[in-house]
Each structure stands twice: as structure tokens, then as C-alpha cells.
């Protein structure tokens, strides 16, 4: 008898303890719900008419009286139509035309550079690397307008005491074109890309490189056959970063493309105008947001297993 009592109380404590250890989990769930709520409301509202959105909250969706002729996909139909100027299809293509090269070009250049900084012993390697990494600290906002000017007319230097003018950058007339945005994204991404990839690539075992050299591989071969396949996680994680950043970028695109050909503007610029004068078509924003978010979601979920691994890229030695 006496032995049973402590056992029973122990089991009560056990239960209490077990339920208490679950508290953080439940708290997490509460946070998840709270954090997801705005997105959920956006999603639900994207299927409701303008008047319904204006009159009641998204949780009233089942009490909706839809105006005549409104079907739940009407907002998406407008947003994805090719006829309405509110249509976003063209801008989705433009966004891809910006985001894909803006992801691939920096990765290509940065991985070459990172390999060179890590494994090729050349004069001035360290100062050059420090200078490159130091460029990360320059806010891109201060460079935007000078950059646009360079795209517009090039950069020219008139030599003193002579009539010769050196074109440091030729007048390529890039302003208003997709290339202006791609080049800007490439330039602004390179310092960080080189830094990230260098940290990863420099930690590959040196013996590997040595044995490759013994087998007669030059730097190009070592890079292509050895370094590139080994650094896929780092490359992929940087690709996700860069793709999401360029896909969602508004500032650079607005600076380089505003007032020009409307066919080349990305979705971010399109969405800004979606609400219309005086917010008259605000109801389309909900559907527009999901049309815009779809592509990054696909990219993120298809590459996310690299993401967590890659975030730690170069952070721990050994």
C-alpha cells in the first residue's frame, strides 16, 4: 500500500511533466497560425468580389452574396488576362527574364572567382579579396543613379592636353532595357556571392586539389570536375537567395525601367499599379500577390533541402 502512493504520484508528475514539455510545441503552433493568418486572409479574399472584400472580413466568406455574374476566379481572370492592362502575364515573363540571368551570371562569375581566391596563389590575392569583400559594405542605393547615368551615356574621360576621349564604358544605351537590371543585379550580388562561395570552396580538403594536380589536372579541370560538383549546396543556397531577391526587387527595376517600355517591367512594378487611381481596384491586389508569389514558392520548395544545408556554408571550419 505504502509503496503504491509514491508510484501513483510519480505517474501524475510524469504526466504533468510530459504535458509541460509539449507546451513549447503548442506555443509554436499558435505562432504558426498567427503568422499564417494574414496570408490566409489574402488567399481567401482573392476569391471574393470587390464589394465583399470592402464590406466584411475574410472569415465571412461563407455568408457572401456575390454580385450577379461574379465567379470566384474573376480576380485571377483579370490579373492573368492578356487583354486587360491589369494583366500580369507579360510582366511575369519579364520578371523571369530578369531573375534567371541575374541568378546564373553572378553564380558563374563568383564561383570562378572564389576558386581563384581560394586555390590559385597569385600576387595580391589577399588585398584583392579584401577589397572585393569590402564592397559588400557599400549600400547599393548610393550607386543607383550614377549607374543609370552610365547606362544612358557611358562613361568618358577626356585626356588632358589632347583631343582624345577615352570611353571607359561605351555608350550602350541600356537604360530601360532588361539588361540594365540584370547587370545591376549581377554587380550588386558579386561581392556577397564571392564571399560566400569562397568560404565554402576554401574549406574543401587541400589533399583533393593536390592529388588532382598530381594526376595532371590544370586549374580549369580541377574547378570543373572537382570543385563545382562539391559546392552544389552552396551554389544552390546562393541561387535561392539571389532568385528571391531579384524576383521581389522593386527598387532597381523601378530606377532602371521607369517611364520606358511597359513590356519589360517586372511584376513588382506591375503590382504597384494594380490598385489603380485612388485605390479603386484594390481588390485585385490579393490575386496579384498570389500570382507573383507562385514562382518563388516553387523555387523555394524545390530547392529548400539545399537551403538549410547551404545556410551553414562556410560557417564552421573543419
Binding site for other proteins (CB under 8 A): 50-51, 54-55, 67, 84-86, 144-145, 148-149, 152-153, 156, 163-168, 170-171, 175, 218, 220-221, 254-255, 258-260, 262, 269, 272-273, 275-282
Minimum Å gap between C-beta 203 and other proteins is 26
Q: Closer CB to other proteins, residue 153 or residue 206?
A: 153
* Nearer residue to other proteins within complex by CB, 136 or 157: 157
Whose Cβ is closer to other proteins: residue 239's or residue 252's?
252
String of DSSP letters for 214-225? HTT--HHHIIII
Number of Cβ within a 10 Å radius of residue 53: 20
Q: Retrieve residue 219's grid coordinates.
A: 586549374
Integer angstrom CA distances of residue 223 from 48, 244, 262: 54, 27, 42
- Residue from 44, 258, 20, 18 nearest 144 by CA: 258
Nearer to other proteins, 2 or 85 (CB): 85
CB-nearer residue toward other proteins: 79 or 239: 79
Q: Can you tell me the distance from the alpha carbon of 86 to that of 65, in angstroms, rounded to the nearest whole number?
A: 25
CB of 173 to other proteins, least distance (A): 10
Residue closer to other proteins by CB (options 239, 274) is 274
Where are any strands of DSSP class E within 125-283? 155-158, 165-169
Task: Report helix, strand or coil for 257.
Answer: helix
Buried b (16+ CB within 10 A) or exposed e, 215-236: eebebeebbeebbeeebebbbb
- Backbone φ and ψ for 33, nearest 5 degrees, come out as -65, -45
Q: How far apart are CA 134 and CA 47, in angstroms?
A: 48
Q: CB within 8 A of 161, min separation 6: which ones?
A: none
Q: Identify which of residues 209 and 236 has a Cβ nearer to other proteins in the complex.
A: 209
Q: Which of 236/257 has CB closer to other proteins?
A: 257
Residue 314, SS3? coil
What is the spatial distance between Cα 110 and Cα 199, in angstroms, rounded to a whole number? 12
**Measured between alpha carbons, how far is 153 from 173 in angstroms, rounded to an integer?**
6
Q: How far apart are CB 170 and other proteins at their closest, in Å?
A: 5
**Smallest gap, in angstroms, from Cβ of residue 227 to other proteins?**
16
Q: How far is the CB of 263 from other proteins (least distance, A)?
A: 11
* Whole-angstrom distance, CA of residue 245 vs CA of residue 64: 37
Amino acid at each position: 500500500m505504502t509503496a503504491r502512493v509514491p508510484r501513483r504520484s510519480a505517474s501524475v508528475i510524469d504526466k504533468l511533466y510530459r504535458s509541460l514539455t509539449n507546451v513549447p510545441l503548442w506555443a509554436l503552433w499558435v505562432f504558426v497560425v498567427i503568422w499564417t493568418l494574414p496570408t490566409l486572409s489574402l488567399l481567401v479574399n482573392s476569391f471574393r468580389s470587390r464589394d465583399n472584400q470592402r464590406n466584411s472580413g475574410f472569415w465571412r466568406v461563407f455568408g457572401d452574396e456575390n454580385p450577379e455574374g461574379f465567379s470566384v476566379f474573376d480576380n485571377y481572370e483579370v490579373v492573368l488576362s492578356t487583354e486587360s492592362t491589369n494583366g500580369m502575364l507579360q510582366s511575369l515573363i519579364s520578371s523571369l527574364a530578369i531573375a534567371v540571368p541575374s541568378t546564373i551570371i553572378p553564380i558563374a562569375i563568383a564561383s570562378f572567382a572564389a576558386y581563384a581566391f581560394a586555390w590559385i596563389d597569385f600576387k595580391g590575392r589577399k588585398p584583392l579579396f579584401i577589397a572585393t569583400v569590402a564592397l559588400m559594405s557599400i549600400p547599393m542605393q548610393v550607386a543607383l543613379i550614377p549607374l543609370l547615368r552610365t547606362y544612358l551615356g557611358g562613361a568618358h574621360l577626356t585626356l588632358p592636353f589632347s583631343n582624345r576621349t577615352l570611353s571607359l564604358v561605351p555608350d550602350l544605351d541600356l537604360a530601360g532595357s532588361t539588361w540594365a537590371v540584370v547587370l545591376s543585379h549581377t554587380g550588386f550580388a558579386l561581392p556577397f556571392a564571392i564571399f560566400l562561395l569562397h568560404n565554402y570552396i576554401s574549406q574543401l580538403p587541400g589533399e583533393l586539389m593536390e592529388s588532382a594536380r598530381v594526376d595532371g589536372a590544370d586549374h580549369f579541370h580541377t574547378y570543373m570536375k572537382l570543385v563545382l560538383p562539391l559546392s552544389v549546396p552552396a551554389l544552390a543556397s546562393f541561387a535561392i537567395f539571389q532568385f528571391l531577391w531579384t524576383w521581389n526587387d522593386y527598387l532597381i527595376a523601378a530606377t532602371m525601367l521607369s517611364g520606358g517600355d511597359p513590356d519589360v517591367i517586372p511584376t513588382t512594378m506591375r503590382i504597384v499599379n494594380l490598385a489603380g487611381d485612388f485605390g479603386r481596384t484594390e481588390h485585385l491586389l490579393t490575386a496579384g500577390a498570389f500570382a507573383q508569389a507562385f514562382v518563388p514558392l516553387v523555387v523555394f520548395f524545390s530547392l529548400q533541402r539545399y537551403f538549410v544545408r547551404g545556410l551553414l556554408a562556410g560557417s564552421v571550419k573543419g
